[in-house]
Chain A
Amino acid sequence: MKCAEFLNELTNYLDGAIDERTKAELEDHLAWCHNCYVVCDTTKKTIEIYRDSQLYELPEDLRTRLRTAIVSKCHAHKKSGPERV
């Protein structure tokens, strides 16, 4: 297996969406190709760091304000009937 072939399968490998045979071939490649091992490992860390980063958390006060506005518009919509929106 070449590095380019490994990279093509990287997403499927990290997501566990491959058959056992392909997985074994990829892991054979990882065992001897240090560059692909590092790319695979740091790609996994990239995903994890974003998933755990809590970027753009919705502050509680804004959350309440938005929900109040949504609920009030839903009530208005309910009164006016679906054809008005």
Chain B
Amino acid sequence: MTTIQPKVDAPVTDELALVQAAKGGDVEAFEDLVRRYDRNVFRIAQHITQNREDAEDVVQDAFLKAYSNLHQFQGQSKFYTWLVRIAVNEALMRLRRRRPERMVSLDEEVKTEEDSLPREVADWSPNPEQQYNQAELREILTKTIQGLPASFRTVFVLRDVEGLSTEETAEALDLSIPAVKSRLLRARLQLRERLSRFFQRREATNGKQKPETGDTNQ
């Protein structure tokens, strides 16, 4: 079985030059950095906050905060990792504000009923994309990832959707590398388990399951 291939990194050759120019007050250079990463920041923010308005605010506030604190960026990490760290903190702050009744922390070890060995071990249909249309598939994927605890969801999104390395994810989330690996494993297994309910190979294909709703266990 082949391994997962990481996403190709955005070119960083001129990135430090852009950061240096922006530090010197060149707003156009900073705008180039915004263009480079706004889609990623929006996606991360929406995955964490699960709210479109909050995600829009996170994009604005994270970039503005980055701009006004550029003097603190020492260039020891990638600019993108530094920016993601700011964006994640902004997103978590909004999530806590919207859901004050729930504990939202990246440090917390979340135990869930799905931490045991996998239960759904049926193979999937060769191609889930053919089993469901695009809108149905998107709904299944959205509901499924929304059901994960925030600490698992965030690690999965940074590592597997955005393609940050384990080390970069640890740095962006201020977690240890073993903590990132442990959360990533559990996030991947939980998502797999939940998706299996939709995608497993069926003898009779006339009974599609409808996506579940409101399956949250934070």
A residues adjacent to B (C-beta < 8 A) = 3-4, 7-8, 10-17, 27, 30, 35, 37-51, 53, 55-58, 62-63, 66-67, 69-71, 73-75, 77-78, 82, 85
One of B42-50, B73-81, B103-111 contacting the partner: B42-50
Q: Which residue of B lies closest to A54 (CB)?
A: B138
Complex contacts, A14 vs chain B, CB 8 Å = 3-4, 188
* B152 contacts partner chain A, Cβ-Cβ < 8 Å: no
What number of B residues sit within 8 Å (CB to CB) of A?
53
Complex contacts, B1 vs chain A, CB 8 Å = 27, 30, 37, 40-41, 44
Contact check, A10 vs B27: say whether CB atoms are below 8 A apart: no
* B218 contacts partner chain A, Cβ-Cβ < 8 Å: no
User: With A11-B181, A39-B121, A42-B123 given, is the CB distance from A47 to B4 under 8 Å?
Assistant: yes
Contact check, A66 vs B60: say whether CB atoms are below 8 A apart: yes
Contact of B42 among A3, A8, A49, A58 (CB under 8 A): A58
From DSSP, what is the main secondary structure of chain B's interface residues?
helix
Complex contacts, B142 vs chain A, CB 8 Å = 55
Least distance between A66 CB and chain B CB atoms (Å): 5
Contact check, B123 vs A63: say whether CB atoms are below 8 A apart: no
B residues adjacent to A (C-beta < 8 A) = 1, 3-4, 7, 25, 27, 30-31, 34-35, 38-39, 42-43, 46-47, 55-56, 59-60, 63-64, 67-68, 71, 117-118, 121-124, 128-129, 137-138, 141-142, 145, 156, 160-161, 163, 166, 181, 184-185, 188-189, 191-192, 195-196, 199
Q: Which residue of B lies closest to A78 (CB)?
A: B25
Contact check, A69 vs B68: say whether CB atoms are below 8 A apart: no
Contact check, B123 vs A78: say whether CB atoms are below 8 A apart: no
Contact check, B34 vs A7: say whether CB atoms are below 8 A apart: no
Q: How far is the CA of A55 from the CA of B184 in the complex (A)?
A: 19
Contact check, B68 vs A46: say whether CB atoms are below 8 A apart: no
Complex contacts, B39 vs chain A, CB 8 Å = 57-58, 63
Contact of B38 among A10, A55, A63, A77 (CB under 8 A): A63
Subset of 10 A-B contacts with CB under 8 Å: A7-B189, A39-B121, A41-B1, A43-B189, A43-B192, A46-B191, A48-B4, A50-B161, A57-B39, A74-B67
Q: How far is the CA of A30 from the CA of B3 in the complex (A)?
A: 14
User: With A42-B123, A67-B38, A74-B30 given, is the CB distance from A16 to B59 under 8 Å?
Assistant: no
Complex contacts, A45 vs chain B, CB 8 Å = 124, 128, 199
